[in-house]
Each structure stands twice: as C-alpha cells, then as structure tokens.
Structure 1
Amino acid sequence: MIQTRVLEELGLSKREIQVYVTLLKLGQTTTTPLIRSSHIHPSKVYETLDRLIGRGLASYTVKSNKKYFQASDPQSFVSIIQSKKQELQQREKSIHALIPELKQLQTLTESKINIQIYEGIAGLKNVYERIYDRLGKGETQYIIGAPKLVNEKMEGFLLDWHKRRIEKGIHCKYIYNSDARKYGEKRTRMDYSEVRYLPSEIITPMWIEIFGNTVSIGHIKKTGAVMLLIEDKEIAQGYLEYFSVLWKVSTK
C-alpha cells in the first residue's frame, strides 16, 4: 500500500494521486482503461489529467488521432519540492524587506509601557525569535528559574536557537531550577553561556527573562504555555537587579 500522505502534503488532491498512481501501473494508456482502473467518473478523469499535466506529473502523445497518457517519472516530485523551496525563499526575502516598514508603524514610545501576551509553544518560539532579533553581539539575555518542562517541550528548537545566538555573539546567563540540571549542563558547555542553579527547595513552572528593555514572564504546564512581555526600561532594570541578587546566592 502506497503511503499517499506525503504527496498530499505536496498539494496533490486524493483524486490526482489516484490517477497518477493508476497511470504508473498502466503505463502509456488511453482514458478508457484509466477510467476503468481508477473508478473515477470520466469527466473527473479528464479534469484531473489536465491538472497533472499542468503540474508536470503526466504527459500525452497522439497516435492515430487518439491521446495516450502516461505518468511522469516519480523523480518529478523532487523538482516540485525544489520549486516550493525557491518560492519559500523568495517569500522569506519579501518578508525581511517588509519588516522594517511594519516596524515603523508601531506606535511604541519610551514613556509608554507595552504589554503583550503570547500563548502556546508557538508563542514561546516567537518570543525567542524576538530576543534573537533584539539583542546584538556582546549583549546578554538573563533568565531566572529556567524550568525543566520548557526544555523538555522545546529542546530541539532551543538547541538550534542557541547555535544561532552563539554565531551572533549573544551572551546568556541562566539561573536554572535544580531539577533542570541536565539541560543546564548542556548550556554550560556552550560558548557565551554561564549557568547557576536555584536551591533545590525552589522549583517553579514559571520563569523570567530579561533582554534589553524587555522582561518576559513565562508559565508552562503539560496542557499549555503562556508568556507575558513587558517593555519598559525601568521595569527591566528592576528585574535585572533582582537577577543580580539571585545570581550571587545561586550555585554552580
């Protein structure tokens, strides 16, 4: 049994997949055997063949005034993937070009406290991308109470994020929960990283991150996650002083 889910993810409909697979089995054929083998209404077969030809997944020849159809080599799917990659790369370039214009529309000022809420793992990832964008070479991200669960749920993403922030030269100072030592030890071996641990009696699913003039307060549990962002220079400075006190009493 052919697994068709991957082909569906490339954008093919179930009917297109059915006709394409039938063509592969039949080889060069007219529509009569194709209709009989695929069990699809004739009008739909012709419509589907046109779409497959448009995608470069089928072709036809004319012999004695009859059309003979055949499936393209399955290697054609690689070309489709490459084409989609190029489209995504072009979209990414367009988005990067648009971001400065969008940022100019923001009405944030130094005197106004800006508060935003992000939900779910996708929301947490957005916050980390924001940290990466906001901090430059030689600047530091500070974390208080990094919990075990957030690492368990996001470790793949976080390892890739750390790789990128190290390449950019961003420093990290972490105060981990004691039960997350396994992850703290990984960070200790990373460049631009310092790690300490809270006392074992202090374990919380909440954590605080300070970067630039922003403070983020996160909470995670098995059923979901949320992160509150507060943009204000004075608040960020206050939490940074809180971090400094905890850093002195935390252990390596």
Structure 2
Amino acid sequence: MIQQAFEMLGLTPKETQLYQTLLKLGPSSIRDIAEHSGINRGTAYESLKQLQTKGIVSYFPKGKRRFFTAENPDILLNLAEEKRSRLNKTIENLKNTIIPNLHQQQPDYHQTHVRYYEGDDGIEWVLRDILNVVSQQDHKEYCVFSSKPIRPFLYRPFPNYTKQRVKLGINVKVIALGDGGEEAELSERKWIKTEGSVDASYIAIYPPKCAIISLASNNFPSAVVLESKDIAKAQQIIFDTLWKML
C-alpha cells in the first residue's frame, strides 16, 4: 500500500527506499545512505538527484562532502495536491478542447461499429457504458425495450445499477414486453401485452449507441453494442412512436 502511494506520486521503489532510509538516518553522506539502504552508491546518488528535483530531498555541503536530508513527510501531501490539480486541468482540457478537436479530425463515414460481449463481465461492461455515455449528455435519458424473462439476469453482475443511475440523475423510459417490472426513481414504464411466452431480450437505446442483450443456452448472457448515429436515431423514432401510442 505504501509503495503504491509513492508510485502514484511518481517515485520508483529505489527512490521510496532511499527517502525512508534518510528519514531514519537524518542528514547523511552518500556512503552511509548506500550502506543502510542496500543500494550501490552510483545508483543511490542518481536516485537522490531525482528526489532532489522532486523537492523530497535536499543536501548541504559539509567539508568536501555532500550530506543529504529528507524533507518533512508533509511534502508528500503537497505533491499529491499538485498532481491532482494538474490532473484536473488535463481532464478539463480533454473534455473541452482535445477530444472535441480529435472528433473533428475523424472522418464521418457513417460506419457502424459492432462490439460483442459475453457473460456477466460483458453485461456489466455494457451497463456501465450506458451510464457513462448518458451521463455526459445534456439530456440525461435513455430508452429501453425489456422482456420479463431477462430481468433476473440483467442486473446480476451490477446489482446497484439503478442506484448508480439515479445518483447520476439519469432518466429511463421502459417499454416492458409482458407483465412485471418494478417501478423505480427517475423512470417511466409502459407495457405491451403479449400472448404466450416471450424470449429474453433487452434493447437499450442511448444515442449514438444501441445495446442488445439476450440469453443463450443455460441462461448465458451475451450482448451486441452497435455504435451508429443513424441506427440509434431510427431506433429512437420507433421507440418514441410506440411510446405515444401506448
């Protein structure tokens, strides 16, 4: 856990070891540092220079030798805050400038990207993709066709899905095929009566994507995600038209 935290701050295992050694020793020569850390003098000296650049270690001359000293551990929190600040700025640049510019550079061939997913892990990925895509839109809403047989298996890999959806402020409209289905916050539901059994299926429309989830033999879940503005728009028109009729 400690090494992982240091790595997040950009320190190598050797740099971490040297810093902790210096904290224990106090101001020390390169020879003493190398001896107590078990790192050879050449490598230790180069690593100490890196630590000095990062502001974690400093040195002072004593006679003809340099003595190194570790800065107060509180400096690590300052480093983490600086790193978080830079990361937040990078995220804002990605959202507002870099990604929009990259999208403009991408030719629009109206191609359909198709991805296949299987098993509980695959279904969880699709459900998370729905939340990720819709949460970034101005109008946070998606639409669903859902049949009764798939419901026990749909949220099995992601049991707190609805709670996450509500937390993100995402609305959902559901056209249920057959009876059943639970009312939930930020959701609207209408029903289509069916005669006889209905196959297990779930279709989510969240432009520019559509996800189709079904069950194979032995109730093994699989999904297809289509990424196409044209297909998503057509599916949305079908859903909206049917919704108004119900």
Q: Same fold (TM over 0.5)?
A: yes
Q: Quote the residue 1:194 is aligned against.
A: 188
CA RMSD of aligned residues (A): 4.0
2:171 equivalent to 1:171: yes
Q: Quote the residue 1:18 is aligned against.
A: 17
Q: Is the 8 A contact 2:143 2:239 kept in 1?
A: no
Q: Is the 8 A contact 2:205 2:235 kept in 1?
A: no
CA distance in 2, matches of 1:223, 1:13: 44
- Structure 2 gap ranges (5+): none
Distance 1:177 1:236, change over 3 A: closer
Q: Which amino acid aligns with 1:20?
A: Y
CA distance in 2, matches of 1:113, 1:6: 43
Q: Quote the residue 1:209 is aligned against.
A: 204
2:39 equivalent to 1:36: no
Q: Which amino acid aligns with 1:209?
A: A
TM superposition shift of 1:36: 0.9
Calculate the TM-score normalised by the size of structure 2: 0.71
2:53 equivalent to 1:59: no
Secondary structure (helix, strand or coil) at the match of 1:99 reads: helix
Q: Quote the residue 1:228 is aligned against.
A: 225
- Equivalenced residue count is 228
% identity of equivalent residues: 21
Distance 1:71 1:150, change over 3 A: farther
Q: Which amino acid aligns with 1:104?
A: Q
Q: Quote the residue 2:145 is aligned against.
A: 144
TM superposition shift of 1:177: 10
The CA deviation string for residues 92-112 of structure 1, in whole angstroms up to 9 with x for no partner, is: 122121333333345547xx5
The CA deviation string for residues 143-177 of structure 1, in whole angstroms up to 9 with x for no partner, is: 2337455545445676445333x2xxx53124689
Calculate the TM-score normalised by the size of structure 1: 0.69
- Structure 1 gap ranges (5+): none
- After TM superposition, the structure 1 = structure 2 runs for residues 62-211 of structure 1, keeping only pairs within 5 Å, are 62-96=61-95, 97-108=97-108, 114-117=112-115, 120=122, 121=124, 124-134=127-137, 136=139, 140-145=141-146, 147=151, 151-154=155-158, 159-164=163-168, 166=169, 171-174=171-174, 188=184, 190=185, 192-194=186-188, 204=200, 206-211=201-206
Q: Is the 8 A contact 1:131 1:211 kept in 2?
A: yes
TM superposition shift of 1:202: 6.4
Q: Is the 8 A contact 1:124 1:227 kept in 2?
A: no
Q: Which amino acid aligns with 1:17?
A: T
Distance 1:32 1:122, change over 3 A: farther
Distance 1:125 1:67, change over 3 A: same
Distance 1:32 1:106, change over 3 A: closer
TM superposition shift of 1:226: 4.5
Distance 1:203 1:243, change over 3 A: farther
TM superposition shift of 1:82: 1.1
Q: Quote the residue 2:47 is aligned against.
A: 48
CA distance in 2, matches of 1:223, 1:15: 48
Q: Is the 8 A contact 2:115 2:226 kept in 1?
A: yes
CA distance in 1, matches of 2:191, 2:16: 55
TM superposition shift of 1:219: 5.7
